[in-house]
Structure formats: structure tokens, C-alpha cells
Amino acid sequence: MRLINRLILGAVGLGLLVLNGCNKTPRLGKDPVKKVIAAMTLEEKAYFVTGTGRNMAAPGNLKKEDRSPGAPAVGQTQELVPGAAGTTYEIPRLGIPAMVMADGPAGLRILPIRENDRATYYCTAFPVSTLIASTWNPDLAYKVGQAMGNEVLEYGVDVLLGPAMNIHRNPLCGRDFEYYSEDPLVTGTIAASVVNGIESQGVGTSTKHFAANNTETNRNALDTIVSERALREIYLEGFRIAVEESKPWTVMSSYNLINGVPASENYDLLTKVLCDDWGFKGLVMSDWFGGTDSVAQMSAGNDLLMPGTVAQANAIIKAVRERRLDEAILNRNIERILNVLVQTPRFKGHKPTNKPDLTAHAAVARAAATEGMVLLKNSSGALPLAAGTRVAAFGNTSYETITGGTGSGHVNEAYSISLAEGLKNAGYSVNKELRDSYERYLRTARQNGPKARPYMPPQLIQEMTIAPALAARIASEADAALITIGRNSGEFFDRKVDGDFNLTQAETDLIKAISDAFHSRRKKAIVVLNIGGVIETKSWKELPDGILLAWQAGQESGNSIADVISGKVNPSGKLASTFPARYEDVPSSRNFPGVVIDAAPAKVESVQADGMSAFRNPKASRITYEEGIYIGYRYYESFGVKPVYEFGYGLSYASFDYGKLSLSSQNFTGEITATLDVKNTGKVAGKETVQVYITAPSRKLDKPAMELKAFTKTRLLNPGETQTLTFVLKPRQLSSFDPVASSWIAEAGKYEVRVGASSRDIRQTASFSLDSDLMVKKESVGLVPKTKINELKRGSGTI
């Protein structure tokens, strides 16, 4: 088949050669890209901008008879790396190889075991992005990226479909674990480091999902109604930082609509903002089967449609023939794709070894995991646990520790270390009677429970009831209790409040029963949270002595948790998203997950082309971001709503003193440098993340009480050691987006600099003034909502 297609292509090529007056056929890499494009047939062009389709459950997608005559051959491209999410067409006569793309944010997702192949292709499961953000350590994020990128390279993939960097708008979003933070500065800074790390290996990234993809429910047909200002300041800002600081090879547009226009068909978003305002030079690809109108996608600047369908290619051919699509636009998009393609390892002839150093990468995963865990509570030094402590591990996820979320963010790792195993590896003795009964309980529950659906998380197994007599016996045998609470989520659905954001009754009962049993013997009980997103803590946090937020920490989870519990690593993670007192306190809680506006299934590509569409069948819906810019701490701090654990919060086994904050000037002229000393006043070495918030004057524009404008993590400071930290504040950090002027404006007046250990633990303040308004940057006009949004403003009360 492949041979026949090649023969046909060869004949076409020969014909063109004759027509071109015997000119040599240009080849990518040898001849200018524009010349190569000029030599492509319309069919080749249309198929080249639509990927080769998906090799699973896509009935009809690749039926030969549907394909236009002259379409390039699919050939073996889909099988180049089994389990990869998509590939582009190869056009051998022009020297164009395929480009292979695979997920995702926590490590490479490919098929680990393959038919007729004795080799294995396991990848490292790194900690989820929420944890990486909680490290507040861009250098570490870079190292994680490097290790991930190396696996991408050595397994023959060209572009990793990550990092995912949507904002944590609501804790119920099923994919929050793939995303970093409620704050765009943390999101953008960490994502840029991850991109730089991955791309240092000579492979590409796809920062996704551009943009405002903060909900999974009805994601393909959800119209996000959001103000220009909230878009610019909150939902686009992280992407801007990543684009400017790391120049990702590709950006993936999102499924949702923004103010009535699908993101992948959105000219304002993909051309005006991304290319004109930010100078993006890479290619934009759609999310898988995203959008409905391939011609509109081409025109908007969505260069590549993934995974690509024959129908899309045919629609493009027809539109060019009927002059509804200017071929010059197609050429522009192809040029962008080719400019990326020439950088790929496949184009450069790199031969994948299929043998990345998984041992070294596991060490990177373990180190990153320990640094992103957040110590939420540690009454009277409950942690660390001394060597030799006899530990009783309660909770299902002590034995089936969740390493990461599901869907495209899942990684096929070779092994994973449970908490119980990690404790054992660290030399603790783990109560055997308890371990045996949990393992028995979990086995039976799995056997009798529903079969796990592909791509979906296994059902949460209810915590078993520990009889008081058993609790008492174990409490007398063991020295300390660890109680894990686990959560899993993923693509296609959002979490629920009851039994997911809130603990189940069985979980609360477990924490209470075990804490009581251990306390009555003057022993400690520690809760370990094995979760991917924010949960409720207020109702139970007084019960245990300590709470360690371990997140979903990748394949080395158990070892990493044990490193922190033992004090081998002093915890230094801080929250990159707020833990509110109750779900109702979340400013977006009234506008999540949107309202259905048409009960009939929406006509989207995924329904037609995707065999697994049962749970993806979206309904046209709308979600209105009435909270505007007041997301996370911007809301809690501005409206006096006290969270349980605030943004930026996290304890250490050490303590830190903040010296006096000095500013280089009292008056802002171009930039100001803020300097202060941080001293480790504790008994063990530790790292501290220092956060710089600004309170800006608000004459014309409504402003949050404070906004994070810079942060730094100290090096590992020994007891008594001091480090001087310096922060440079530039006009951009003083400015807010004024939609009337389509510009970032710094208003004249007094600016307060608040330096703290968290958003509520401000240790030093100083102020400076700006004499007159500063127009910092003019942006393109667009993305304007068509209807008025009843947006939250300070003074308008809480919502």
C-alpha cells in the first residue's frame, strides 16, 4: 500500500518536474522553506496542516476512499512511536519527515509494552504540576523539564504536549493537577522553566490549553464569557510570560469558546494576542479534535489541526478551490509548521536509543517531589519522625498511593513506590497487621467494584471502618499513626463537592478515630494528603497533630514522602493555590461548571470522529467569569474572606527571620530594587520562599488588595546562615490592564511593597511613589465580550 502511494506520489512529482521546466524538486533543509511550499500540491498542503488522524477508535477516519486523490500516504507515521497522541504527514519527495507528538505534563505518555517487541518503553512519572509549582523553584522545574525532555528525545518523540498551564480558577476542575497555580506569575515562571528544560534537549513543547480552559464539563462546547481585563491579567498572563521567557516551539489552542468564538478559530487570540502582541514565532496546534470549522481555524492562525481528520483536509481543499480560503494563509501556516519541523530530532536524523537513564530521572522526580510537598500543620514538632519509629499506616492510599492524575496527563511508569513501601525503605517499621488487612480489603474491593474505564480514574474505594478495639491495639503497638487521604481526577469531568472536595464521612471518621486512639496514649497522628487539587480541611484539621500535603508525587511518591517525614529533607513547599474554608467561599463557585444552553448534543468534531465519545458528548453551555480578576488570594485578601491555608503558605522544620526591607529609591523612575536579608534561625538547614506583593494605587482602575509581583527561593541555608535577596521591580509589575485604552497602565500614586512568607504572613513593608501615569504597553484590541458581565468589583461586596 505504502509502495503504491509512493509510486503515485513519485508520478505526481515527476509530472510537476516536467511542468516546472525540469527544475529540481526542492527539499526541506536544502532549499528555502518557501520554495518547498511552492512545490506542494494543494492536496499535500491540506493534509499537511491536518495530522494523520488517530489510530484508535476513529472509525472511518482513515478510510482510503474518503481521501482526496493525491493525498500524501499515511504510511507508517502513526506507528512511529506507539502510544503517541498524533503525527503529521510525511512528504518524502520534498524531504519532509513526520513530526511525532505525545503527552504530557507529568512525563511522556507512550505505550510501554508493545506487540512482538521484548523491549519496554516505560517513562518516568514526575510529580504533578501542582506539586512542581509548590516548589516555587524555577531551577528545579528546569531540571524536571530536562529529564522529561531527554525521555522525549530518546523515545523518538519530537514534541511533548505540555506543560499545561491553565489557571486554578476553581478547585473542582478535573485537570487542576495538570496545572500550576491560581496565580499567573507562578504559572508563567514555572512553566517557562519547564519549557526551557525540555527544549534544552532539542525537542519541542506545546504550552496548553490556550486559553481559559478552566472547566472540563462540556469542555468542547463551553462558551467562556470573560472580560478582556480578566483575560489579560489572569488567564493569558501566564502564557505571555512563558512565550516571552521560553519561546515554546508550539502552543495548543483550547477546546472552549472565548466570548462566543472557539479558541482554535479565534483570530484575536491566536494572531493578535499571541503573534502580534507577544511575538510568538512557533506553530499553533488545535487540541485533539478541537473546533468545528477547519477553514476558520486556518484563517485564525491555528496552523495545525490535530490529530487531523480527512474531512478537515477535504474541507480545506474545497475552500481553497472555491476561493473561500486564500491559499496564502495555508502557505503561512505551513511555513510555521515547517520552521518547527526543521528543528525536530526526527528531521535532524537523531536515532532514538529507547534507553533514557530512568534511574537518574527517578532521582530527579524524587528530589522535585520532596521540595514541592507542603507541611500544613506541625503541632509541637510532631514531624519529623525519629528513626526507628514504629508507624501504623492508615488509609487506602498508604498502600495504593496515587502517583498522578488520569487522562492524557497520565504516565506509564515502570513502578511506583507506595507510602508504606517508602516508609519501609527509609527504615521505619510499618505495622504488619494493619498493612495485611488494608491489602486484603483493597483486593476485595477492586475485585467486586466496577471495572476501571480507560482514561478514567478508578473508583475511590471507601475507607474501611477501623473497629475501636483494633484502633486501640494498633495504637498501643505503634509509636505514630499516618493517615492518608487520597483523591484522583482527570480529563473529561470535574470533581464534586460532596465526597471529593469535602471528605467522605468514612474519611472524617477515620481521622477522628485514629487521632483519638493515638492521643489517648500520648502518641501522634499525622494526616498525609495524597491529592491533586485543593480540598476542604477546616472541619478536620484540628484532629491530627500534623498535616503533610504530599500531592500526587510521581513514581517515587512513597520514598519522597518518607524523605520529608524523616527530616532527611526539610519541607520547603508553599501553596500556589489557596485552601479555602468552604467551597462556597471560592469566588467562582457560583459560576462553575457553567449552564447548559442547549440540551441537544453539540455538533463538535469529537462526537463525529471519536469512538470514545460517550462521556465527551458535550452540550452547548456557557460559563461567566463574574469574579473577574478576583481569583484566589486576589479575592480572599480583597474581600476579607479568611482561608484555612492561604496562598504562599507552608511550614518548615526551620524558622526564618526577615531583615529590614530597603528600596533603591522612594520614587519610581524606570525600576526599583528591593533588598532584604533572610536568616535561618532554626536548628536545621532549610530553604525559604520569599514573596513580594504589591498594593497599587487605584484611582481609575479597581485593584486587588495585593498581587504577587516577584518571588525567590533561598539556597539551602544552614542554621544561622543569612542570604541577601534582591528583587527588581519594573514598570510591567506596577501596571494593570486598562481595557478602555487597551494598554497596561501604571497609575501614579503610592505603591506599597509587602514582602512575606505567605500572602497573609507579611514580614516587611516599604513604599515608593510614581509621579505620573505610565503607559507601559499598548496591546491589540479584541477578545471583547459581546454582553455585559456583572463583574465583581471592590466595594461591590462578596459574591
- List CB contacts of 59: < 8 A, sequence separation 6 or more: 611
Instruction: Please give the positions annotated as active site.
Output: 287
- Cβ proximity of 611 and 58 under 8 Å: yes
Nearest approach, Cβ of residue 660 and ligand BGC (Å): 46
Residues 61-100 interacting with ligand BGC (rule: CB under 6 A): 85
Nearest to 254 by CA among 387, 165, 378, 125: 165
Query: Which C-beta is closer to ligand BGC: that of 250 or that of 370?
Result: 250
Residues 104-123 interacting with ligand BGC (rule: CB under 6 A): 104
- List CB contacts of 413: < 8 A, sequence separation 6 or more: 107, 122, 123, 124, 125, 403, 554, 555
Nearest to 691 by CA among 752, 643, 758: 758
Nearest approach, Cβ of residue 773 and ligand BGC (Å): 41
Query: Which C-beta is closer to ligand BGC: that of 252 or that of 393?
Result: 252
Nearest approach, Cβ of residue 76 and ligand BGC (Å): 20
Nearest approach, Cβ of residue 491 and ligand BGC (Å): 6
| Rounded CA separation 186/707 (Å) | 11
Query: Which C-beta is closer to ligand BGC: that of 104 or that of 558?
Result: 104
Question: Which of 36, 91, 100, 161 contacts ligand BGC by CB under 6 A?
Answer: 161
Residue 754 carries which side chain, given as an amino acid letter? Answer: R
Nearest approach, Cβ of residue 305 and ligand BGC (Å): 13
| Rounded CA separation 499/491 (Å) | 19
Residues 580-599 interacting with ligand BGC (rule: CB under 6 A): none
| Rounded CA separation 739/230 (Å) | 10
| Rounded CA separation 548/565 (Å) | 9
Query: Which C-beta is closer to ligand BGC: that of 219 or that of 366?
Result: 219
Q: Provide the 10 A C-beta neighbour count for residue 486.
A: 23
Question: By CB under 6 A, how many residues form the interface with ligand BGC?
Answer: 9
Site string for ligand BGC, 203-242 (x = CB under 6 A): -----x----------------------------------
Mapping DSSP to helix (H, G, I), strand (E, B) and coil, where does residue 469 land? helix
Query: Which C-beta is closer to ligand BGC: that of 303 or that of 707?
Result: 303
Here the cell at position 775 is 503607559
Residues 30-49 interacting with ligand BGC (rule: CB under 6 A): none
Here the cell at position 710 is 516577584
Helix axes 358-372, 138-154, angle to 10 degrees: 150
Chain Cα centroid distance, residue 362: 20
| Rounded CA separation 517/92 (Å) | 71
- 288 touches ligand BGC by CB under 6 A: yes
Q: Catalogue the long-range contacts made by 243-246 (C-beta closer than 8 Å, 24 or more residues apart).
A: 243/207, 243/274, 243/278, 243/279, 243/280, 244/278, 244/279, 245/188, 245/189, 245/192, 245/196, 246/191, 246/192, 246/193, 246/195, 246/196, 246/199
Nearest approach, Cβ of residue 161 and ligand BGC (Å): 4
Terminal-residue alpha carbon distance, the chain: 62
Question: Which of 43, 103, 154, 545 contacts ligand BGC by CB under 6 A?
Answer: 103
Site string for ligand BGC, 336-375 (x = CB under 6 A): ----------------------------------------
Nearest approach, Cβ of residue 219 and ligand BGC (Å): 8
Q: Which residue has the cell 522529561?
A: 148
Residues 480-509 interacting with ligand BGC (rule: CB under 6 A): 491
Query: Which C-beta is closer to ligand BGC: that of 164 or that of 528?
Result: 164
Helices (H), 20-160: 33-38, 42-48, 129-134, 138-154
Nearest approach, Cβ of residue 279 and ligand BGC (Å): 24
Query: Which C-beta is closer to ligand BGC: that of 103 or that of 738?
Result: 103
Question: Which of 287, 545, 610, 738 contacts ligand BGC by CB under 6 A?
Answer: 287
| The dihedral sign for the CA sequence 165, 169, 171, 173 | negative
Nearest approach, Cβ of residue 661 and ligand BGC (Å): 41
Query: Which C-beta is closer to ligand BGC: that of 208 or that of 703?
Result: 208
- Cβ proximity of 728 and 711 under 8 Å: no
Query: Which C-beta is closer to ligand BGC: that of 263 or that of 745?
Result: 263
Nearest approach, Cβ of residue 56 and ligand BGC (Å): 11
| Beta-strand pair 480-486/429-430 | unpaired
Count H helices and E strands in the chain, helices first: 22, 28
Query: Which C-beta is closer to ligand BGC: that of 85 or that of 576?
Result: 85
Residues within the interface to ligand BGC (CB under 6 A): 85, 103-104, 161, 208, 287-288, 408, 491
